[in-house]
Amino acid sequence: EKKFVINFSAGPAKLPEAVLRQAQKEMLDYQDTGVSVMEMSHRSADFSKILNTTEQNLRELLDVPDNYKVMFLQGGGTGQFSAVPLNLMKLKPGHTADYLVTGTWSAKAANEAKKYGTVNMVLPATKKYTSIPDASTWNLNPEASYVYYCANETVHGVEFKDIPETNGVPLVCDMSSNILTRPVDVSKFGVIFAGAQKNIGCAGVTVVIVRDDLIGQAMDVCPSVFDYKVQSSNNSLYNTPPTYSVYIMGLVFNWIKSQGGVASMDHNSQVKSSTIYNVVEESDGFYCCPLDPKCRSRTNLPFRIGSIEGNDSLEKKFLEEATKAGYLQLKGHRSVGGIRVSLYNAVSVEEAHLLAGFMRNFIADNR
């Protein structure tokens, strides 16, 4: 029997136990085929069925309109934020793109885009990444080919609560760390992409959702595997897709449906995150969250212990005791330090309550 743990990893992250058990059951013999999904041709009837059902389920869960293509590709979030300028930079003659940089991941995406065109920084430069400046101050360029942002910054914990208004310029969004944790109006976006390894599966597959009119505009240098037109017209089968990762993601979509869909993930996300933030708020400065309450992430909650700069020995003690008690992977990203609690879809409300209890006890013992 497995020992008691709760996995709060920022990714690759916890998967629902029911999904792992089903994968285990089907590992050697997928539905009487006599082979594992890992051993199937990506062009076989059995795998086609997995691919198509997975796409249908995602379309249903996210209510994806018919004028959008859904692709399941390799390359991760990094591959896909690199593919964005390759596909969209030349939509307008200026070859300029607007980037809202609110943390590590949008900063990396902006640097990648600079290889292919001019990047306009919409927000003033900062290294702190603790808030999102008010939209009235944004420096948007109406001639931009697209506007790019990251819905949830996994390292810094900055999450957009609203979809940015771009006045008709196509909007591109990295949803790697909050996809399917809240409903979104897909019709407001030009492109949405998300790596699977946080909320919807294991590493290897990246979901890419693109509006039809943005397909077929890639730069000549765009590698075919990253070209939206090539991949969408081949139903993600231009090259071998990450077949097993697609299968696991399909199991997760079924699990989300069985739990009540995105509405229920949204509700749980709200409850779980406020359970932890409440402990921080009520701790009288023992736990310190640097983030503006208006943009605090519900899926990645960074905080310090002892003071806003963090007390190294207390944080070390917290992590050691947490690990011993079974609360795993709570260390903040190495670039910001401190603690980070990741509360993706597979982490239950009850598990968040257990961690909150541990955090309260830690105050009592260490104040």
What six digits make up the tokens of 290? 């640097």
Binders of ligand PMP among residues 75 to 104 (CB under 6 A) are 76-78
The yes or no reply on residue 149 touching ligand PMP (CB under 6 A) is no
The yes or no reply on residue 74 touching ligand PMP (CB under 6 A) is no
Query: At how many degrees (to 10) do helices 312-325 and 349-366 cross?
Result: 130
- What b-and-e string marks burial along 6-24, b requiring 16 or more CB atoms within 10 Å of the CB? bbbbbbebbbbeebeeebe
Name residues whose C-beta falls within 8 Å of residue 333's C-beta, 6 or more positions apart in sequence: 10, 104, 154, 155, 302, 340
The yes or no reply on residue 150 touching ligand PMP (CB under 6 A) is yes
Among residues 151 and 359, whose Cβ is nearest to ligand PMP? 151
Cα 82 from Cα 86, distance rounded (Å): 7
The yes or no reply on residue 199 touching ligand PMP (CB under 6 A) is no
The yes or no reply on residue 329 touching ligand PMP (CB under 6 A) is no
Q: Which stretch binds ligand PMP (CB under 6 A): 48-56, 164-172, 174-182, 355-363?
A: 174-182
According to CB under 6 A, which one of 105, 228, 244, 362 is a site residue for ligand PMP?
A: 105
The yes or no reply on residue 159 touching ligand PMP (CB under 6 A) is no
Cα 190 from Cα 185, distance rounded (Å): 11
Which H helix or E strand runs over 71?
strand 68-73
The yes or no reply on residue 9 touching ligand PMP (CB under 6 A) is no
Site string (10-39) toward ligand PMP, x via CB under 6 A = -x----------------------------
The yes or no reply on residue 148 touching ligand PMP (CB under 6 A) is no
Strand, helix or coil at 218?
Answer: coil
- CB of 228: closest distance to ligand PMP in angstroms? 18
The yes or no reply on residue 154 touching ligand PMP (CB under 6 A) is yes
- CB of 200: closest distance to ligand PMP in angstroms? 12
Among residues 77 and 306, whose Cβ is nearest to ligand PMP? 77
The yes or no reply on residue 174 touching ligand PMP (CB under 6 A) is yes
Among residues 80 and 268, whose Cβ is nearest to ligand PMP? 80
Cα 114 from Cα 98, distance rounded (Å): 11
Q: Which stretch binds ligand PMP (CB under 6 A): 29-37, 71-79, 212-220, 233-241?
A: 71-79
List strand residue ranges (DSSP E) for 227-293, in order: 287-288
The yes or no reply on residue 241 touching ligand PMP (CB under 6 A) is no
Scan for tokens 């790697």, then name that residue.
176
Which candidate, 42, 146, 49, places its Cα nearest to that of 100? 146
What are the catalytic residues?
105, 174, 198
CA dihedral 195, 198, 200, 201 (to 10 degrees): 80
- CB of 180: closest distance to ligand PMP in angstroms? 14
- CB of 312: closest distance to ligand PMP in angstroms? 25
Scan for tokens 């400065």, then name that residue.
285
- CB of 11: closest distance to ligand PMP in angstroms? 5
Strand order in the sheet with 339-342: 287-288, 300-305, 339-342
Note the residues at the interface with ligand PMP (CB under 6 A). Answer: 11, 76-78, 105, 150, 154, 174, 176-177, 195
